[in-house]
Amino acid sequence: MLTGFAGRSLGLAPHEASPLILLVPALTVLFGARLRRNPVALPVELTGALGALVAVALAVPDAPFLALVLALCGVLAAGAAVRPERRPVAAYLAAALFVLATWVRLAASEVSFPEAYTLPVTVPALVVGFLRRRKDPEASSWTAYGPGLAATLLPSLAVAWTDPDWQRPLLLGVSALVITLLGARYRLQALLLLGGAVLALDGLHELAPYVVQVAGALPRWLPPALAGLLLLVVGATYEQRLRDARRLKDALGRMR
């Protein structure tokens, strides 16, 4: 209340006064650190959280101020995460607030390409996954790296399929190839399958027009004849293909 009145007395608009309101949460973070496990600490910190919500609500009409307030809230949450008893919740909250602040700032600057929004999620997620696998080498690559990779690869693939330019499909294909090779080198199932799937779909989209042109130039009887020949070859080597499929399944199953 006092900070709100102070902002009004200075002639500030509500969104301009919103950073001042964060003085209340900042004080509650400091008091919470002093009180620690005292029963009074939780109500004090909840009061600060309510003040932070008010500041965010006041900043909503102005995107740059909203990004600033969200970033400051992230700093306060990171400060609370220093305390071991608050770390499990406050650390994730701080990360989410920083990412959200980045997204709002990018939207305010009219940045439209999706990688600007997804990479701030992907990079920290991959770092956390790497640290987790260093601590627990038996951890699945899907839980360590899958969400972080999917957060960027899948939106980029969706945009690449509708992008008339060649730069994004090329960069996406190179990135997917590197991820696939890393997955094969370090026997990480998530990297191999996600990277390989994105690489295949990206290549299919880029090669499809040329395949259609070639198919249109061929005699009408040739594609059915080639399809029949392929079926004959597969049928003649069915047992071998079945053994290859089992070996591939076993190899993937041994990956993390």
What pLDDT sits at residue 177? 95
Other C-beta atoms closer than 10 Å to the C-beta of 124 total 14
189, 237, 238, 252 from 243: Cα distances, Å: 20, 10, 9, 14
What pLDDT sits at residue 69? 92
Written as one letter, the residue type at 232 is: L
What pLDDT sits at residue 5? 45
What pLDDT sits at residue 245? 58
End-to-end Cα, the chain, rounded Å: 54
Mean pLDDT for each consecutive 10-residue tract of the chain (256 residues)? 49 75 87 75 83 90 91 89 80 88 89 88 89 86 91 91 87 94 91 93 85 70 71 67 62 61
What pLDDT sits at residue 1? 47
DSSP 164: -
What pLDDT sits at residue 163? 83
Q: The whole model's pTM is what?
A: 0.72
DSSP 137: T
Residues ≥6 apart with Cβ < 8 Å to 101: 67, 68, 70, 71, 74
